Amino acid sequence: MKPPKPRIQRKGLIWRWERGAWQPYHRSYWTEDGKPRQKEVFLAWGGDEVELDRMYWLARSGKHATQVRPATHTWRECIVEWRSDLTIQGELAPSTKKSYRRAMDTILEKNGGKDMRDLTRKQMRAALSNLAATPRKASRYAQTISILWNYAAKELDWPLGPNPASGLAKYKPAREYEPWPDWMIAKLNTAPERVQIAAELIRGTGQRPSAAITMRRDQFAGEWMTVVDEKSDEMFPVYCPDRLRVFVDGLPKRGAHMLAKNLTEPVGYSSIEHAFRTWRKDLGERAKPFTLHGLRKLAIVELAEAGASDAEIQAVTGQSAQMVAFYRKKANRKALSKAAQKRRE
């Protein structure tokens, strides 16, 4: 004899006697091509009313596992195809591929399984707004989205609409990075140890912050150091100044890298950047305009003030001739203003 049917009643909820027990189903109705349709979804509640409630509302909202269709035209599919395209990969510089890979890894982590066609321009603008504090990163993200969208539409023949990132990758720094002033260099001894180390490496090597922060100990050998040109992905030897050599020799050995996370990995750039921003905030408003990149620019100014030629400065920092000329003006102006003012004394 069957036990009484469960009293739980809801819209679309039906009960059937199966496998010696009352089993719940959710039935939904709709019209397709003028014809009435219906579908039933089994709710595996296991006799638990709380679980039944959860399963019912999943089915009611169309999110039950049996209702959700696997996404097609996903970001993951597109990225895999793009990375496998030998023609494209052969045309890109190593540094360009590296920067795209970082942006694509972020997309894969957050939205890899999502349908590309679901992305709207409004959502794209919102995502870039969240990256407003790092405009260069925001620009690269928008550029990567745009490249993948165009690739899917033109090379994969996917039925996509207008590119939601079109025209949004327009990064231009509001101003050039300011070299650190003397007072901020003097305050460096109040910064966290890892910020001090990063600052000395950036200033001493003239490299980009990301390259300096991830330097290995074996990149320093006597009076020479091996630095990385991130644009060409090449390494080349540069003379190591005495001040930096003494500093490096005095650092405790905690791993293979100068700033070691563990024995084999370096501390990440974002970790150093966060520590730097926290310290900079403690210095007050006048420190706000200065960034870690400003230490690289300071290296150019210091070299220029020491009498180095443009070619010599480029050999150390790897900066373009235009950039060296721009920051040389700051060094020349300081020297000229000092000479002019001295005449009044």
Q: Give the C-alpha separation, 311 to 321, whole Å.
A: 8
Q: Within 13 A of 217's CA, how many CA atoms are on the CB side?
A: 16
Range of the domain at 227: 182-342
Regarding whether 245 and 148 lie in a shared domain, the answer is: no
Regarding whether 135 and 41 lie in a shared domain, the answer is: no
End-to-end Cα spacing for the chain: 113
Regarding whether 23 and 130 lie in a shared domain, the answer is: no
- Where residue 10 falls (left for φ over 0; alpha for ψ -120 to 50; beta otherwise) is beta
Token pair belonging to 197: 């180390």
Q: Report yes or no on whether pTM surpasses 0.95.
A: no
Q: Give the C-alpha separation, 148 to 103, whole Å.
A: 11
Regarding whether 216 and 122 lie in a shared domain, the answer is: no
Measured between alpha carbons, how far is residue 218 from residues 208, 256, 260, 317, 332 in Å? Answer: 19, 8, 13, 19, 36
Regarding whether 279 and 212 lie in a shared domain, the answer is: yes
Count: domains in the chain? 3
DSSP, res 207: -
Is 233 inside any structural domain? yes
Tell me the per-residue pLDDT of 248-296, one tens digit each, with 9 for 90 and over.
999 999 999 999 999 999 998 889 999 999 999 999 999 999 999 999 9
pLDDT of the residue at 99 = 82
pLDDT of the residue at 107 = 93
Token pair belonging to 87: 């023609």
Q: Are 35 and 79 in contact (CB under 8 A)?
A: no
Average pLDDT, rounded, for the chain: 87
Region 155-178: what's the mean pLDDT? Answer: 81
pLDDT at 84 over 60: yes
Residue that has been written with the tokens 């300011």 in this structure: 178
Regarding whether 280 and 148 lie in a shared domain, the answer is: no
242: domain CATH number? 1.10.443.10
Regarding whether 43 and 84 lie in a shared domain, the answer is: no
pLDDT band at 232 (very low <50, low <70, confident <90, very high): low
Q: Give the C-alpha separation, 90 to 87, whole Å.
A: 5
- State the Cα torsion 175-178-183-188 to the nearest 10°: 110
pLDDT of the residue at 175 = 57
Q: Give the C-alpha separation, 212 to 215, whole Å.
A: 5
Q: Which residues contact 260 (CB under 8 A, 6 or more apart)?
A: 254, 266, 267
Is 202 inside any structural domain? yes
Tell me the per-residue pLDDT of 30-42, one tens digit each, with 9 for 90 and over.
776 677 888 888 9
